[in-house]
Every structure is written in C-alpha cells, then in structure tokens.
Amino acid sequence: MATPRVYADFQNLDDENRLRLTCAGTRQDLERQGIELREGMVLTFYSDDADDEGEPDELLAQGVLHCDGAQQCWVAAIDWDALHHASERRGQRGKIVTTD
C-alpha cells in the first residue's frame, strides 16, 4: 500500500524542528482521506512550490508521527536532508527516473 500524501505547511515547526500537523490544509487532507493518525505512522507530506520557470513543483518529505502531549497536537519528525521537489524524481516527460 502506498504511503498517504498529506498537505503540510513546512514552516509550521515546533522547537524540535518537527512539523506540526495543525494547519487547516493538513486537517482537511487527513479528514478527506479518512486517515486516522497513529504513533509511528509514516506519511508523505507535500507543499505547493514552483520550479525556476514558475511551473508547479511540489516539495515532498516523509515524516514519522508522534502525539506530543505537551503541545497537545500531532507532529511529524522529518528528515529535512531528504526534502525534495517532485521533479527530482521525474524525467523531462514526467516519467520516474531510476538510479539502477
């Protein structure tokens, strides 16, 4: 099964540099997809962005969920070094590029 994709505001971070899952777009995406959050669950997060020519090119990152009791919200630990644009995984015609 594919990892669910959920909208995120990559600027909405806590003091530990974790992504807070509190923005309206994130909550709407979770509800629309019927995703019930669980400790340790892995999700793919995306945010709108553009390439150098102004064409849409989403930012993508995977995160591991944690319910933060002190903040009373769900957060995702993101490997920020793995943050990338969707186009980095695609060829010029939108085909997935393999590294084999």
Would you write out the chain's pLDDT as a tens digit for each of its 100 residues? Answer: 678 899 999 999 999 999 999 999 999 999 999 999 999 999 999 999 998 889 899 999 999 999 999 999 999 999 999 999 999 876 544 544 444 4
- pLDDT value of position 2: 79
DSSP state of 31: H
Instruction: Give the residue among 1, 8, 2 at the shortest CA–CA distance from 65.
Output: 8
- pLDDT value of position 89: 77
- pLDDT value of position 34: 97
- pLDDT value of position 23: 96
Can you list the alpha helix ranges (DSSP code H) found in 17-93?
Answer: 24-33
For strands 42-47 and 5-7, give the pairing.
Answer: parallel
- pLDDT value of position 39: 98
Cα separation of 59 and 47, whole Å? 5
- pLDDT value of position 97: 44
Cα separation of 42 and 27, whole Å? 16
